[in-house]
Amino acid sequence: MVDYLLKPIQFERFIKAVNKAFIFKGQHAVDTKPLPVKNKEESFVYFRCDRKMVKVMLRDIRYVESMKDYVKVFTDNEVIVTK
């Protein structure tokens, strides 16, 4: 075991643990800067729901809930359940 994390996990602590694991494996450490998002207002993801693909804008997602093998995505207008 290289490191362990206790909930709630802070992002900086997560990066520190990942870097320890990479260094232990002989690889380079990861960068701590977040990836740039070109236009957050236009970013979206697709979810498979009711045998169709549903496009959801990231700005519309309020929160996500885990349910074993499924995930509930809550938006202002709907709740999407996907595997």
Say yes or no: 45 and 31 in one domain. no
pLDDT tens string 35-64: 666 666 678 899 999 899 999 998 899 999
Tally of domains in the chain: 2
Q: Are residues 44 and 78 in the same domain?
A: yes
The structure tokens 């997560």 sit at 14
Both 7 and 27 in a single domain? yes
Closest CA to 52 of 15, 28, 25, 81: 81
Same-domain status, 61 and 72: yes
Shared domain check, 40 and 29 = no
18 confidence band (pLDDT: 50, 70, 90):
confident
Residue 69 is part of which domain span?
Answer: 36-83
pLDDT in tens, 20-40: 888 887 877 766 666 666 666
β-strands 61-67, 70-75: how paired?
antiparallel
